[in-house]
Amino acid sequence: MIRIFPSFRFTSLLSAAKPFCSVACSSSPAREPPPNLPYPEVKSITVSKTPKTPLFLRTPSHVTPLSEVWKWHDWAKDLASSVESSSTKSNDSLESVTLLRELKWLIEDTIVDDPLSILHKKEIEDDDKKKSVKLRASLEELYDLWKQRIENRRPFQYVVGCEHWRDLVLCVEEGVLIPRPETELIVDMVEELVSRDDWFKKGIWADLGTGSGAIAIGVAKVLGSRGKVVATDLSPVAIVVASHNVQRYSLEGMIEVREGSWFEPLKGLEGKLVGIVSNPPYIPSDDIPGLQAEVGRHEPKLALDGGIDGTDSLIHLCHGASRMLKRGGFFIFETNGEKQSKMIVDYMTNDLKHCFSDLKIVSDFAGIDRFVTGFRR
């Protein structure tokens, strides 16, 4: 790997970058200070909006007779088992196996004290009928939630209010894209890189269009204590949710969440980032109406629609990366697949000549060319 920067230049920047936001403010005196303020202020701006509490974090205040819970569980199971017959063959249909697994997780998130052993009981004894359990939601709500899941195709992650991603449990809600398993690989790649080269552990990273904050949190954790990540998003809901997730993992010291479009909140950090990661909207506009119901009906278009050929944001990110990355800095962008990945590599090779090196296309576990990675020359 090319590493031209002598290390002292880096250390001098580090000391200058403390406190973190002063770089952004002091180094661009001619312009207005960025409208996007660091974390505490962001919170006060959006004080009206508080993140939803996911099921598993609520207080178990609903004491409910076990027999009623059993009744609900039987009903929910029947509903889950009945879906396949109604909508077969369609590419966009629910699967009973998946729904039954989700039901198990819903129960795990809702019932306190060994939920599965309660529901696995084969024979109901008379004593048990009188027993009660503590639930984190009322039965009424549970009936409603399960109906929403199956009848409205509301994504399971919005139903329970969280998504398990890597070793994290992230709060999610409507208005924020649910992080996908494919995207976990971005963190794996960053981990691999920083374990080879310490230089990347000490610098500033950016996660653009952070959504729930998943990538930013994953990256911060692999960077260790010396790293910094700035996470930006245009959506106020995403800002609230990402900040909340950052707080839940006590990473406020490492991750700064800033509201704004792509690189706008990063003014003053030109040429100073050691890494950029992003999962921007990349679905071509024409594909949006045909999306899977969970995605098309419920997830934010802002996080999905990438313009006519889906590359609007990606092209913008390419230009930004050339401006914002230090020499030797690294980037990973997620894409729609083979066609887009090739387009982006071509664009970077031809239109942004001499800016990048080691451009690579990396596929996900399903074998789809999912990521473009490379280094700033």
Partner 1 sequence: MIRLYTTEMEPQLSPDLIKIMNQRLSAIEHRNTVLQKLINQPEYSQEEFSRANKELRKLRDSMELINDLRAIQKEIDELKSLVSESADDKDMLDMALSELDEAVEEEKRLQTLLLKSLLPKDEADERDCILEVRAGTGGEEASLFAMDIFRMYERYSQKKGWKFEIVDITESDMKGYKEASAAICGANVYGKLKFESGIHRVQRIPITEKSGRIHTSAVSVAILPQADEVDVQLRNEDLRIDTYRSGGCGGQHANTTNSAVRIIHHPTGIMVSIQDERSQHMNKAKALKVLCAKLYEIERLRIQNSRSKLRSDQIGSGDRSGRIRTYNFPQGRVTDHRVGITHHNIEDIMQGENLDSFIDALLLRQEMDAIASFSSTS
Q: Which residues bind partner 1 (CB under 8 A)?
A: 91, 95, 98, 101-102, 105, 120, 122, 155-157, 164-168, 177-178, 180-184, 279, 281-283, 287, 291-292, 294-295, 299, 303-304, 334-337, 364-366, 368, 370
Nearest CA among 89, 119, 121 for reference residue 104: 119
- DSSP-derived pairing of the beta strands 204-208 and 273-278: parallel
**With respect to partner 1, which residue has the nearer C-beta, 157 or 245?**
157
We find the least distance from the C-beta atom of residue 261 to partner 1, in angstroms, to be: 19
**With respect to partner 1, which residue has the nearer C-beta, 53 or 292?**
292
We find the least distance from the C-beta atom of residue 62 to partner 1, in angstroms, to be: 23
We find the least distance from the C-beta atom of residue 126 to partner 1, in angstroms, to be: 18
**With respect to partner 1, which residue has the nearer C-beta, 256 or 334?**
334
Rounded to an integer, what distance in angstroms lies between the CA atom of residue 255 and that of residue 132?
43
We find the least distance from the C-beta atom of residue 12 to partner 1, in angstroms, to be: 37
We find the least distance from the C-beta atom of residue 122 to partner 1, in angstroms, to be: 7
We find the least distance from the C-beta atom of residue 377 to partner 1, in angstroms, to be: 28
Nearest CA among 308, 301, 327, 171 for reference residue 244: 171
**With respect to partner 1, which residue has the nearer C-beta, 96 or 349?**
96
SS3 track for the chain: CCCCCCHHHHHHHHHHCCCHHHHHHHCCCCCCCCCCCCHHHHHHHCCCCCCCCCHHHCCCCEEEEHHHHHHHHHHHHHHHHHHHHHCCCCCCCCCHHHHHHHHHHHHHHHECCCHHHHHHCCCCCHHHHHCEEEECCCHHHHHHHHHHHHHCCCCHHHHHCEEEECCEEEECCCCCCCCCHHHHHHHHHHHHHHHHCHHHHCCEEEEECCCCCHHHHHHHHHHCCCCEEEEEECCHHHHHHHHHHHHHCCCCCCEEEEECCCCHHHCCCCCCEEEEEECCCCECHHHHHHCCHHHHHHCCHHHCECCCCCCHHHHHHHHHHHHHEEEEEEEEEECCCHHHHHHHHHHHHHCCCCCEEEEEEEECCCCCEEEEEEEEC
We find the least distance from the C-beta atom of residue 98 to partner 1, in angstroms, to be: 5
**With respect to partner 1, which residue has the nearer C-beta, 349 or 363?**
363
- DSSP-derived pairing of the beta strands 168-171 and 162-165: antiparallel
We find the least distance from the C-beta atom of residue 187 to partner 1, in angstroms, to be: 8
Other CB atoms closer than 10 Å to residue 310's CB: what's the count?
25
**With respect to partner 1, which residue has the nearer C-beta, 21 or 187?**
187
We find the least distance from the C-beta atom of residue 37 to partner 1, in angstroms, to be: 29
**With respect to partner 1, which residue has the nearer C-beta, 37 or 169?**
169
Beta bridge partners of 171: 162
**With respect to partner 1, which residue has the nearer C-beta, 279 or 373?**
279
**With respect to partner 1, which residue has the nearer C-beta, 45 or 368?**
368
**With respect to partner 1, which residue has the nearer C-beta, 168 or 254?**
168
Q: For residues 341 and 361, is the Cβ–Cβ distance under 8 A?
A: yes
We find the least distance from the C-beta atom of residue 346 to partner 1, in angstroms, to be: 20
